[in-house]
Structure 1
């Protein structure tokens, strides 16, 4: 099991700490490991093989000129979710690196945004080193504000 998944399960499974505080502690630790993610202050909700979900809070620090969550902040949230999914999913003898991101902005991001990343088990099987990760961001009212694919390149560890 990956370090990210182990830490997630420990942080959210300690009865004394509680799942809510454990999620906040994990989110803080994740952002320390990849400092750029601190800019959106991700709050992880779920991490499991083939799925990760987090919330990007709508706050002044991520606003654009319209007062909505900036497009690049949305991408940052999607990439953080993808990274957690990749770490929780990838076999121990392999490594990954993002190769590109294709996104469409479909509505204004006028609330906190739930960023989700998903793959299918078959995406990680076989000889093809390319793994597509489906990503999307959803407003509080259920409207999708951004959706797309992050392309990973998966290779054996050396």
Structure 2
């Protein structure tokens, strides 16, 4: 079990447990802290991150900035990967292919998803990501490509 999954289990039942977990997780990759996101759900093959629309993540037209959306997608992908990766394998991000499909004009929910069979072999693995406004409009969609390899023995 990964350290992130263990941390999630320890904080899950606490008052403000999601916020505590998310704050500690944000310190693993300090740029996560810039978006003030909360990991709403984290389980094998699925993660959901809520990103509030705040002045610090807005662009010049008052919508959530593209890079803040990418940070949210990477945070969701990382939570999914840590909850899913088999014990004998490791992962590292390799690339991101994203399309911005609508204005991100509200708080945002970023979802990352995979299928169980994707984790069975080494090599490239595509994590599907999308960001939705509070009205359910998909404002961002794409793939984060991971490299999966066996751990050295």
Unaligned runs of 5+ in 1: none
Question: Which whole-Å CA distance do the structure 2 matches of 1:53 and 1:64 have between them?
Answer: 23
Q: 3-state SS of the aligned residue for 1:30?
A: helix
Encode CA deviations 1:64-96: one digit per residue, 9 max, x unaligned.
Answer: 010000011100100000011111110122111
Shift of 1:143: 0.3
The aligned counterpart of 1:131 is 125
Q: Does 1:42 align with 2:37?
A: yes
Gaps of 5+ in 2: none
Residue number in structure 2 paired with 1:149: 143
* Higher mean C-alpha deviation, range 70-79 or range 3-12: 3-12
2:72 paired residue among 61, 74, 77: 77
Which residue pairs with 1:104 in the alignment? 99
- Per the TM alignment, residue 40 of structure 1 is displaced from its structure 2 partner at its CA by 0.6
Distance 1:87 1:113 in 2: 22
Paired residues in the alignment total 152
Helix, strand or coil for the counterpart of 1:133? strand
The CA distance in 1 between the partners of 2:72 and 2:143, in whole Å, is: 13
TM-score, length-normalised on structure 2? 0.96
